[in-house]
Every structure is written in C-alpha cells, then in structure tokens.
Amino acid sequence: MDSSSPTPDSPSAGPAEARPVLEGPDIARALTRIAHEIVERAKGADDVVLLGIPTRGVHLARRLAAKLEDVTGRAIPAGSLDITMYRDDLRMKPARALGRTEIPADGIDGRLVVLVDDVLFSGRTIRAALDALGDIGRPRAVQLAVLVDRGHRELPIRADYVGKNLPTSLRETVRVQLAEEDGRDAVLLGVPARPETGQVPGAL
C-alpha cells in the first residue's frame, strides 16, 4: 500500500467516523473496468503478468486476474512482490516482517508487468516496487493499477489504471478493506490517525 495515512508531521486527529466512499459492488465494478482497460491497452493481454504489493495489493491482483480471465478466456499469471527491504523508511520505523514474493513460473522477462496496489499516495511504495522488480528480471514494460489514487505525490509516478481518483487532504486517511483480510469490501475516508503516533501503521 502506498499510504493510507497522513504525513508524519500531520496533527493527530480526534475520534471520527469513517465514511465509506466505495462499497463491495463499486470495487467489483472498478476492477472489471480496469480489466477491460488492460486488455484494450495490451491488445489482448497475452503477455501480461500481475504482481500485487502485499498485503491488499496481492488480493486485488488475484481478483483482477480472475476478471481478466473472464474477459480473455485464458488464465492470466498473478503473483506478489514484497518490497520490505527496498523501502526508504527502514531506518525510521521498527523492523517489519518480510512479505512473500511469488513470481509466476514463466517469469517476467519480456513480459508486460502490471503492479497492483490498493492506494497510491506519495509514490514511494511504487518506487520501492520498481527497485525490487529490477532485481528479479527485465520486463518489456511496467504499468501500475491501483484501486484508489488519493493524490499528494512526492515522486513523479502515476497510475496507468485507477479504480477511483479520490481527492483528499493530508489530514484525512484512506483505508481499504477487503474481504480476504477484513471480512468486508470497502474504501473508508476520514479515519483519524492514532493520537499517540500521528500515523496509521504501515504508512509510506
């Protein structure tokens, strides 16, 4: 996840109710649309490989692979790309557990790799993902699909496929919930940072 929290110097927020901006059916429609856009741009998606960024990006990649199979009639390889050791905030935060990197059997060399994540914010997570990808192979091209783009980029990175553009302030938070992890599908806006830290864990 690129970030679902305010920046580190944001003031902590008081209690507030999260407001759903996407529900389960909205997320399903967004993924269906993204699948059709990938097929159109890739001219059939014959060499597409989906790599999700843990944790929720992996679930989204698997869902997107299923949507692409519905559209194309063929299985689309999907895996996961752990970026833990490539993050630029390792010295600033406690040690993190390593995630899983699972590359499909045919690899990524010469393929169109679509990175999949839940929220695009600063762009630093995607920069780390590109670094991690470079140590694994040499795709012919790399694209990015995200469920939510909340703006506030700190690096020159943009998504090729976006489920929803969601303008936010730095004081707001965006939290993606998926059934595989959270028991429900939703995108919530306005969840406050924890008062003791001013951040939601996992932010980058």
Mean pLDDT confidence for 79-87: 93
Contacts of 183 (CB under 8 A, 6+ apart): 177
pTM as predicted: 0.84
* pLDDT score of 17: 72
- pLDDT at position 70 over 60: yes
| Distance separating alpha carbons of residues 156 and 10, to the nearest angstrom | 22
Lowest mean pLDDT among 50-54, 62-66, 87-91, 120-124: 87-91
Pick the range with the lowest mean pLDDT from 10-19, 105-114, 142-151, 155-164.
10-19
Q: How does DSSP classify residue 113? A: E
pLDDT at 100: 83
- CB count in 10 Å sphere of residue 195: 11
**Bigger pLDDT: 198 vs 136:** 136
Contacts of 169 (CB under 8 A, 6+ apart): none
Contact criterion met (CB below 8 Å) for 198 and 182: no
